[in-house]
Amino acid sequence: MLALAVETVGVLAKLYAEAIEAMDMGPVDALRVSGARRTQVFLHSVIPSVTPTFVGLVIYRMDSNVRAALILSAFGAGGIGFQLYQSIELFQWPQLGTELIVMFVMVLLVERVSIVARARIGS
């Protein structure tokens, strides 16, 4: 979990910086010319311009982190992967089936949340 968190913070910081650099400077320049202070420029032009991008990036990273955690745990990083391994070793097929269904439902749930959030951002 710590490895995923550290990697996510680094990737999001880089992507946030790129999003701010790539934003349209028209609203920023318009507010500066009209005499707005730095905080006003930041609150009224920078944040509204980059918020959809930031939210989209957070959703993407959450989605990829859930998938990575499930894959890592299935191949020996602990968590549900340990449960899967024990179920296979002890021939507990109904329990294994339930664990696989839980993993599948978790991925579908995260995907659904991602789709709903992206739809709200787009409108």
- By the 8 A CB rule, do 23 and 46 touch? yes
Quote the mean pLDDT of the chain.
87
CA 118 – CA 18 distance, rounded (Å): 20
Residue reference for tokens 């701010």: 20
Helix (H) / strand (E) containing 91: none
CB atoms inside a 10 Å sphere around CB 25: 13
Per-residue pLDDT of 51-96, as tens digits, reads: 888 988 998 898 888 888 877 877 767 777 778 888 888 999 999 8
Q: Which residue range(s) make up the domain with 72?
A: 2-122
The total number of structural domains in the chain stands at: 1
The model carries a pTM of 0.72
Give the pLDDT of residue 33: 93
The CATH code of the domain that includes 29 is: 1.10.3720.10
Give the pLDDT of residue 39: 94
Q: Which residue has the higher pLDDT, 110 or 9?
A: 9
Give Cβ neighbours of residue 58 (< 8 Å, ≥ 6 apart): 12
**What average pLDDT does range 20-34 have in this prediction?**
92
Residue 4 has pLDDT above 90, yes or no: no
Give the pLDDT of residue 12: 94
Give the pLDDT of residue 62: 87
